Amino acid sequence: MLTGYYIYSAFLFGSFPTSYFLLWGSIALASPFLAAIVWMAKNNLRLAWILPALPMGLLLSLSLAVGVFYIYVSYIEEFIMYAVLCGVFYKNPKQLAAIISVSFIISFIIKQVSPFHF
C-alpha cells in the first residue's frame, strides 16, 4: 500500500529514499530510550562522566586530522565547539580530565569505524 509521503516524494522528486526513511524512523524510535539514559545519568556518576564525552568525541573526530606522527586541526570551528563543550560540561578538574580522555578514545573509534572521512 502506498503512503501519501511515497506518492508525493515519487511525484516531486522521482524517487523514494527508503534508506533515509528507515534511518530517521529508527532514530525517532530510539530517542525515548536514549532520553531515559540521559535522565538516569543525573544520578549515576559513571554515566555522568561518559555521556558528555560522546558529542565531544564526535566533534574531536571532525576537527582533528590524526596521523602516525602528527595531530593537525583541520576544522577550527569544530575545535572551538569542543572547547566550549569542555567549559559547559566542567564540574571539577578530575571529571574534565576523564571526559577529555574518553572523548579522545571515542574520537579514535569514530575515525576507525565511520565510512565518512571529512
Alpha helices in the chain (DSSP H): 4-13, 18-40, 45-50, 53-63, 76-88, 93-113
At 45 the pLDDT is: 78
Cα dist from 36 to 30, 31, 33, 41, 89, whole Å: 10, 9, 5, 9, 19
What is the C-alpha separation between 81 and 64, in angstroms, rounded? 12
Average pLDDT over residues 58-73: 82
Residue-wise pLDDT for 89-105, tens only, equals 888 898 889 899 999 89
Residue 106 has pLDDT above 70, yes or no: yes
> Please, which contacts does 75-84 make with residues 24 or more away whose CB atoms are closer than 8 Å?
75/118, 82/56
Taking a C-beta distance cutoff of 8 angstroms, is the pair 63, 73 a contact?
A: yes
pLDDT range class, residue 69, cuts 50, 70, 90 = confident
Residue 1 has pLDDT above 50, yes or no: no
Residue-wise pLDDT for 28-65, tens only, equals 898 888 888 778 777 887 787 788 888 888 888 888 87
Q: What angle do CA 81, 86, 88 make, to 5 degrees?
A: 90
For residue 40, give the C-alpha cell.
538516569
- pTM for the model stands at 0.65
